[in-house]
Structure 1
Amino acid sequence: MSERTRVALIFGGQSSEHGISCLTAASVLKAIDKDRYDVHGVGITRTGRWTQVPLNVIEGYRIVDGEAPEVAEPEQDAVWMVGEDGCEVATRSGEQLVDIHGIDVAFALLHGPFGEDGTLQGMFEMMGIRYVGSGVTASAVGMDKHFMKVAFEAAGLPVWPYVTASAHRLKHHRRAVVDEVNRLEYPLFVKPARGGSSIGIVRITEPAQLDAAIDEAQRFDPKLVFEQGFVGARELEVAVLGDPDHPDGCRASVLGEIRVSAEDGFYDYEAKYFDEDGAALDAPAQVDDELAAQISELAKRAFHAVDAEGLVRADFFVTDEGAWINEVNTMPGFTEISMYPTLWQESGMTYPELVGRLIDLAMARPVGLR
């Protein structure tokens, strides 16, 4: 029996961020300490099928000709089971189960709905398997920009003006929604409420563009959030890491800053992942000590506002009027060059150390209610 912790890397998924999740799995697999962990790859295809993926396949995931990798549709499906010795993953071959592996902890590297939003975390909870990151409630709140902002406001965090609209309101009371949105100041950002990586977000500068922006954003989520845009603001980010032994319950990294080269200042999907010149990431950000302390404190408050565990990236806009929280991400971009690991590297923690720390946090907390 191996004394190494058995880790399942879970990636892919049915969201629009499927490819980014695959790239993240390749980065984590490269960094994870093979002397401490037995690693098993479990992919979810775009159609929702589960499959055990060989490690050499994961290692080969990369962007080719501008296309992100995908989990291939399997000939045989993977299944999860709860046995006498805990959780196991296996492959179904006809009426038999083969390639059976015990799992101590799941490291879900999924972004977006059906992975980052509490659905997968609920499965882990029911199966009694430890997992990296936030629980069901925090994951759901952190995925839904509407309820996230409600949680921020309840915690007294500074939130910029916004409007939310359900699919029902947009269908049956669209005129009222449009009137409410037009009370905000342009430019506006029209966003899928439960999306990520800026996919489906539309920036508009006048009311005449609103209907088309709603239609585009609803291709990705029937529920939308309309945010009043910032003009000339700095975009700062903080990586927050859970630390049960710290008086604050978590620690904040140095600050990072995103400087977007596009004239409209929109840090979109292409700029994030495919355009090498789309944005510059300054880590650490050039800020004075007072602002750094303020943003760090707000980031830790945001971590607790959504009841997060493990990891969170908190994003802020800073103007001459002050600092405003934009959102938190409970499973932020996690490739080696993503902002979250980069900020911890700048704070003195290497990428492999960060991976190990997150697994240790998951293993240390109890299963069930906590």
Structure 2
Amino acid sequence: MNKTSVALLYGGRSGEHEVSLRSAASVYKHIDREKYYIHLIGINRQGVWFLQNTPGPVEDVLSIEEDVQMMISVIPGKGLSSSRGPISVDVVLPILHGTFGEDGTLQGLLEIADLPYAGADAGSSYLSMDKDIAKIIWQHHNLPVVPFRSIRKSQTEAKDFDWKDLLEDLKMEFSLPLFIKPSQCGSSVGVSRVEKEDLFQEAMEKAFRYDLKVLVEPAVNAREVECSVVGNESPKAFPPGELVPSHEFYDYDAKYIDPDGAALVIPAVLSQKEAQNVMDIAVRAYSALGCSGMARVDFFMDRLRGELYLNEINTIPGFTSISMFPLMCESGGLDYADLLDELINLALSKYESRHSLRFSLM
């Protein structure tokens, strides 16, 4: 049997570089090497791609060897190449989180190179990555979201701008505490919970280090519920899970570094009606953004009223040993290796569908 050639991309330029190294190590350990030939391609923090030698026993983190003789070129219409010549790739499995990974830039590059790839396309990736735009679209589809305001960095650079005026304006709309987050970052990078007024400016400036647009939301006394969705035109949601953070909120360390950062309750302790509602809204949110392949949809569930709010969607969710996305799929009957099979099959199917279209009149 001929093996399918898979390019596993990991690393990248975003603040979630380390997360990607952990996710990719887990994927590499679980993918069926009897079915697939794996090209490991590590992307350093400057965005340079390097073909990697086949590693020995993989621990929890993949490394990136920056050998200039193994640098990768992406050639429009011709795929990938190195100094050794063209690299035969049937499908790309991008395990890259955050900026330059799941924001549509990588996906556009892979489409120009004429390579099938797993996950959402360029447009859906961008819409999903920008929390501001995603929430506007969800509101248009009558889906529930936490109230929010978006603030652009350029607004804070105007001559007549005053941080106190902005805070007072936000307090008129929301009450403290507030959550401040970059609009286009994931994994809680740059996120702050602001309980005191004198911490507001610092939290905003921190978020602006990662993005030119920042979201401000009121804190919700809520349970954190998540739902995995897999599929193209007919997506399927899996039974939701719940995160019970031991930190102040589910921050970067709790997600990826501290093994005791949160209790993962899978499946979540919900009534059948509540769980089905989560799954239904997850699929609607996924479809509203035109997603394909995979995503993890995150919710807040109000502890007092039980109301459900969409928080965000991740089109390349974490794949580490403690990541919710593969664990929820496994709980719903799709184990890790079979999940990777499904994502690869969905990628190839999406590529075939797109290539059935005409892009010119000739």
**CA contact 2:95–2:316 (8 Å) conserved in 1:** yes
Tell me which residue corresponds to 2:195: 205
CA–CA separation in structure 2 for the residues paired with 1:31 and 1:215: 40
Say if 1:169 and 1:82 are closer, same or farther in 2 by CA, change over 3 A.
closer
| CA displacement, residues 59-90 of structure 1 (integer Å, 9 cap, x when unaligned) | 53536xxxxx653433232112357xx53x33
Tell me which residue corresponds to 2:223: 234
For the residue of structure 1 that corresponds to 2:308, the secondary structure is strand
Is structure 2 residue 123 aligned with structure 1 residue 123? no
Alignment equivalent of 1:215, drawn from 205, 209, 234: 205
Say if 1:181 and 1:79 are closer, same or farther in 2 by CA, change over 3 A.
same
Say if 1:336 and 1:270 are closer, same or farther in 2 by CA, change over 3 A.
closer
CA–CA separation in structure 1 for the residues paired with 2:143 and 2:108: 28
CA–CA separation in structure 2 for the residues paired with 1:61 and 1:191: 32
Say if 1:369 and 1:138 are closer, same or farther in 2 by CA, change over 3 A.
farther
For the residue of structure 2 that corresponds to 1:271, the secondary structure is helix
Tell me which residue corresponds to 1:168: 154
List aligned pairs for 1:148-159, cutoff 5 A.
Answer: 148-159=134-145
The answer to which of 119-128 and 218-227 deviates more is: 218-227
Q: Which runs of 5+ in 1 are unaligned?
A: 64-68, 92-96
The answer to which of 71-80 and 38-47 deviates more is: 71-80
Tell me which residue corresponds to 1:191: 181
- Which one-letter code corresponds to 2:49 in the other structure? W
Tell me which residue corresponds to 1:140: 126
For the residue of structure 2 that corresponds to 1:103, the secondary structure is coil
CA–CA separation in structure 2 for the residues paired with 1:102 and 1:174: 56
| CA displacement, residues 91-123 of structure 1 (integer Å, 9 cap, x when unaligned) | 2xxxxx316421111111000011110001001
Q: Would you say how many aligned residue pairs link Structure 1 and Structure 2? A: 348
Tell me which residue corresponds to 1:90: 81
Displacement after TM superposition at 1:184 (Å): 1.2
Displacement after TM superposition at 1:369 (Å): 8.3
Tell me which residue corresponds to 1:81: 75
**CA contact 1:272–1:278 (8 Å) conserved in 2:** yes
Tell me which residue corresponds to 2:299: 316
Displacement after TM superposition at 1:304 (Å): 0.8
Tell me which residue corresponds to 1:60: 58
Alignment equivalent of 1:258, drawn from 220, 223, 243: 243
Say if 1:26 and 1:316 are closer, same or farther in 2 by CA, change over 3 A.
same
Displacement after TM superposition at 1:146 (Å): 0.9
Say if 1:219 and 1:36 are closer, same or farther in 2 by CA, change over 3 A.
same
| CA displacement, residues 226-282 of structure 1 (integer Å, 9 cap, x when unaligned) | 111112x111100001154xxxx11110110001123x3x01111111222221000
CA–CA separation in structure 1 for the residues paired with 2:272 and 2:102: 33
- Determine what percentage of the aligned residue pairs are the same residue: 35
Displacement after TM superposition at 1:189 (Å): 0.9
Say if 1:177 and 1:130 are closer, same or farther in 2 by CA, change over 3 A.
farther
- Which one-letter code corresponds to 2:312 in the other structure? E
**CA contact 2:26–2:60 (8 Å) conserved in 1:** no
CA–CA separation in structure 2 for the residues paired with 1:148 and 1:4: 38
**CA contact 1:155–1:305 (8 Å) conserved in 2:** yes
**CA contact 1:10–1:110 (8 Å) conserved in 2:** yes
Alignment equivalent of 1:290, drawn from 258, 265, 273: 273
Say if 1:164 and 1:61 are closer, same or farther in 2 by CA, change over 3 A.
farther
**CA contact 1:27–1:336 (8 Å) conserved in 2:** yes
Tell me which residue corresponds to 2:23: 24
- Which one-letter code corresponds to 2:9 in the other structure? I
CA–CA separation in structure 2 for the residues paired with 1:149 and 1:70: 36
CA–CA separation in structure 2 for the residues paired with 1:215 and 1:81: 39
CA–CA separation in structure 2 for the residues paired with 1:124 and 1:46: 19
**CA contact 1:19–1:70 (8 Å) conserved in 2:** no
Is structure 2 residue 253 aligned with structure 1 residue 270? yes
CA–CA separation in structure 2 for the residues paired with 1:118 and 1:72: 26
**CA contact 1:132–1:359 (8 Å) conserved in 2:** yes
- Which one-letter code corresponds to 1:302 in the other structure? A
Displacement after TM superposition at 1:181 (Å): 2.3
Displacement after TM superposition at 1:298 (Å): 0.5
CA–CA separation in structure 1 for the residues paired with 2:152 and 2:355: 32
CA–CA separation in structure 2 for the residues paired with 1:296 and 1:72: 41
**CA contact 1:191–1:224 (8 Å) conserved in 2:** yes
Say if 1:332 and 1:37 are closer, same or farther in 2 by CA, change over 3 A.
same
Displacement after TM superposition at 1:197 (Å): 0.9
For the residue of structure 2 that corresponds to 1:254, the secondary structure is coil
For the residue of structure 2 that corresponds to 1:157, the secondary structure is coil
Tell me which residue corresponds to 1:350: 335
Displacement after TM superposition at 1:23 (Å): 1.2
CA–CA separation in structure 1 for the residues paired with 2:167 and 2:152: 13
- Which one-letter code corresponds to 2:98 in the other structure? G
Displacement after TM superposition at 1:208 (Å): 2.0
